[in-house]
Every structure is written in structure tokens, then in C-alpha cells.
Amino acid sequence: MQSERLRRREFIITLLGGAAAWPLAARGQQASKVPMVGFLGPSTPSAASPWAIAFEQRLRELGWNEGRNIALVFRWAEGRSERYAEISSEFIRVNVDVIVTVGGAALVAKQMTSSIPIVFAVAADPLGSGLVSSLARPGGNATGLSVQFTDTTGKRLELLRELVPGLRMLAVMALLAIPPPCWK
């Protein structure tokens, strides 16, 4: 169970590192400006330090080194969602090249800018919240990971009906993974 969580965490970190670096690489090399990544953490630095450290490590593995060819700007909402707009405004003012964050903070950032790419680590319902226009083709300036399973639920029930045609009642028990405090 623990190794599965670590693998999942490594996968998310790898995906975020690549997704955050992609818009920067796509712009080509600029001699005068070092690309700047704004990291909007919804919790506190101490609560999110394992993820921030892993994020920086993955960027290094991809060739992005803080102070050499990339600038990382970390800001923390300290668990107060009303700070998302303030931090997003700061990122817009300093003209970051990409904003990395999570669901609720990503939505606020998207409402404030349509030009800065936004990469979210996880969002419960990015389609329903308006964060993206489609899961297959997000469009706009936001992309990331979804924990939305509603697209496959109907297919699973349909498959179950085929496998057990006489089924009259169904009970479902689910173990929900509780996200760490920094992803709220």
C-alpha cells in the first residue's frame, strides 16, 4: 500500500515536472530572460515540503536548475483559499511563465489570466468546475490531472450487467484516498 502511494506520488511529480517544463521548452531559448515558474501551494511550506522538494528534484532531472536556467517562485496560501487571488495576481504582475498548483487554486488563477499556462496537480471535477472545456482536449490555458471517475462509471455498470445478467441489487463499497493537506 505504501509503495503504491509512493509510485503514485512519483508519477504525479514526474507528470507535473514535465508539464511545467513543457511550456517553457516550447518557447525556445531566450538569452535575456530566465523562465519563471510560479508555484501556488494551498497549504504551508512545512506541510507541502515533500512535494515541493520532489517537484524541484524532477525539474533538475529534466535539466531545469534553479538559479541557472529557471526561477521558481513559491507562494503559500497557508490553508486560506481567499489568498489564491492575491497570489495569482502577484504571479501575473511578475509575469511568470507558468503557474503550478492544484484544483481550487487553479480555478482562481484561470479566472484571473487566460494567457499564462496553468498546470494543476489534481482537480476533483475540472470539467464541471469550468477549469477545462474537455478532459480529452482541455483547451484554454489550464491542464493537469483529474480524479474524476464519472466518465467510466456507466461503462463499469454496463459491463457488470453483461457479466451477471440476473443481478437485481448492487452495493458498492469504495476506499477513497484522502489527499494530503497540501492538495486541498
Q: What mean pLDDT comes out for the span 86-96?
A: 96
pLDDT tens-digit map of 100-130: 998 789 999 999 999 999 999 888 778 888 8
Residue 17: pLDDT over 70 = no
What residue ranges define each of the domains in the chain, with the CATH number in brackets?
2-183 (3.40.50.2300)
Q: pTM for this one?
A: 0.66
pLDDT at residue 25, rounded to an integer: 55
Regarding beta strands 71-76 and 36-41, do their DSSP bridges make them parallel or antiparallel, or are they unpaired? parallel
Taking the C-alpha atoms of residue 22 and residue 15, their distance in angstroms, rounded to an integer, is 10
109 by DSSP, 3-state: which? helix
Q: Identify the pLDDT of residue 168.
A: 81
Mean pLDDT of 71-83: 94
Q: What is the pLDDT of residue 4?
A: 57
Angle between helix 103-112 and 83-93 (nearest 10): 50
